[in-house]
Structure 1
Amino acid sequence: MKKQEKSLSTMNKTITIKGHIHNYAKNERYFNINDLRSYFNEKKIDYKNDTLKKYLYLLKTENVIYGAGRGWYSTIRHDFVLDRKPVEEVGALIKDKFPLLDFSCWSTEQIKGFFHHMPSQFVTFVYADKDFLQALKDFLTDKGYNTYLNPRKNETEKYVELKNQTVILRPSISSREPKNQCFAKIEKILVNLFMETKKVNLRDIGEYQKIFSTNNL
């Protein structure tokens, strides 16, 4: 056993940090720097955070990996094309009512083909300035949507009913969130879905990982 560990350690030392990142990335569609750190720690590879960031930058300039926003990286050269139909209506309603509002939206229905267990109901998420969320809630509720204003985990377990035309409103994290017009890009959906698995129990973490590690996302 010790001999195997010594052999593995010797092999790891002969591969550069850049090489290790490349080896890890080629098996991943999307990953973030924390995933990479976990990989290095698991493989007992010595590294420094500054070195990781340096080689991630170099691999981006060489078009080996691509920035996916907010600390995420991708090995996919071209943008993933999402079906906007599930969010076109709510997006159009909001733009018509609040023409100057900067917001983004996405729906779990847009990625339904990648779930291993198809959800019985889909949820739309709308992100906007926190000062406008109450006005959005009132407006969308009047339009017949089942709308919730930034519910916390304990609130979702008690009060949130996931049914037809459910909309969950969240405050925008950044004005630079990746989107096309008001429609969230896959990079944003990837990050937000991970966060929502903890807030709304949409998917368990294992299901989330399967969606993005075993499918062509």
Structure 2
Amino acid sequence: MTNTIENKIPSYFKEHKSISKSDLVKCILKDFPEFKESSINVYLSKLKKAGLLKNPTRGVYALEEKKEFLPNIDSKLKRLFNKIKKDYPFIDFCIWNTVWLNDFMRHQPFKFYTIVELEKDVAQSVFYKLKDQGKSVFLEPDAETFELYIHNSDDVIILKQLVSEAPIVEIENVVIPSLEKLLVDMIIDTDLYAAQQGELDFIYQSAFDKFGINQGKMKRYAHRRNREKEVEKRTNLTLANN
């Protein structure tokens, strides 16, 4: 029920920015006659709580229009992406920079890293190729490596394994992680996201307030990383504060 109605709801608002709750329920019942009206009412309340619907006035619903996450992909990041794409045209990989997370934080880190997440089979080959080009590159660094080398270095590139079926998107011809992926990863990869660990609550709140977050996408990815319960708990706490 959750996914089917959620995917259909935007079509009910194509001709009107807002519609009455009774009309919305009628539209849903027309497409899903097997559902009970009481169940639909409960589900609409959940969508409102999740920030997918808004309730501008009593008895009226509208779509919550939030911005899409479109981080600044600078020329340096594009060049590195295109270089890897040229050398390894058939691999799945994404690229991003930790400076993107500053938009969600109170305290701004002064050190930023370029992250390349790619298939495990080619990670070592990419590592040596970038190393030969004089890049300061690290492959799957552990906590000690971060402490001894990365935290005190500039212009660092970190290579990590890309989890299969991870939510990635293409923007400006560059493949980057979706915001949903970043939110899940920062709960799990505590070494890479060390600067964000003390602000996870604020980061989640900022992300959900500013952008449209696909919770289903987050849930599926968290499940692939075996941290579904932890991510769901933090997401629920965030939504409870909205």
1:81 matches 2:81: no
Q: Alpha-carbon deviation of 1:157?
A: 3.0
Q: Which of 187, 191, 215 pairs up with 1:194?
A: 187
Q: AA paired with 2:46? A: I
Alignment of 1:56-75 (within 5 A): 64=53
Assess, with a 3 A threshold, how the Cα gap between structure 1 residues 176 and 204 changes in structure 2: closer, same or farther. closer
Distance 1:20 1:201 in 2: 34
1:114 matches 2:107: no
SS of corresponding position for 1:187? helix
Assess, with a 3 A threshold, how the Cα gap between structure 1 residues 164 and 158 changes in structure 2: closer, same or farther. closer
Alignment of 1:1-217 (within 5 A): 18=43, 21-22=46-47, 24-26=49-51, 64=53, 78-85=67-74, 87-180=77-170, 181-196=174-189, 198-214=190-206, 216-217=210-211
- Matched residue pairs, number? 156
Q: In 1, are the aligned partners of 2:136 and 2:157 still within 8 Å (CA)?
A: yes
Assess, with a 3 A threshold, how the Cα gap between structure 1 residues 154 and 212 changes in structure 2: closer, same or farther. same
Q: AA paired with 2:99? A: E
Assess, with a 3 A threshold, how the Cα gap between structure 1 residues 105 and 162 changes in structure 2: closer, same or farther. farther
Q: Which runs of 4+ in 1 moved over 6 A?
A: none
Assess, with a 3 A threshold, how the Cα gap between structure 1 residues 195 and 89 changes in structure 2: closer, same or farther. farther
Assess, with a 3 A threshold, how the Cα gap between structure 1 residues 161 and 143 changes in structure 2: closer, same or farther. farther
Question: How far does the alpha carbon of each residue in 1:64-121 deviate from its partner, in whole angstroms, 9 at most, with x for none?
Answer: 49xxxxxxxxx76552212111621221221122222211111112333333222111
Distance 2:142 2:157 in 1: 14
Q: Alpha-carbon deviation of 1:186?
A: 2.1
Question: How far does the alpha carbon of each residue in 1:179-203 deviate from its partner, in whole angstroms, 9 at most, with x for none?
Answer: 214222222222233333x123532
SS of corresponding position for 2:195? coil
SS of corresponding position for 2:201? helix
Q: Alpha-carbon deviation of 1:145?
A: 2.2
SS of corresponding position for 1:203? helix
TM-score (norm 1): 0.60
Percent of aligned pairs sharing the same letter: 22
SS of corresponding position for 2:72? coil
- For the aligned residue pairs, the C-alpha RMSD in angstroms reads 2.8
Question: How far does the alpha carbon of each residue in 1:37-58 deviate from its partner, in whole angstroms, 9 at most, with x for none?
Answer: xxxxxxxxxxxxxxxxxxxxxx
Runs (5+) with no aligned partner, structure 1: 1-15, 27-62, 66-74
TM-score (norm 2): 0.54
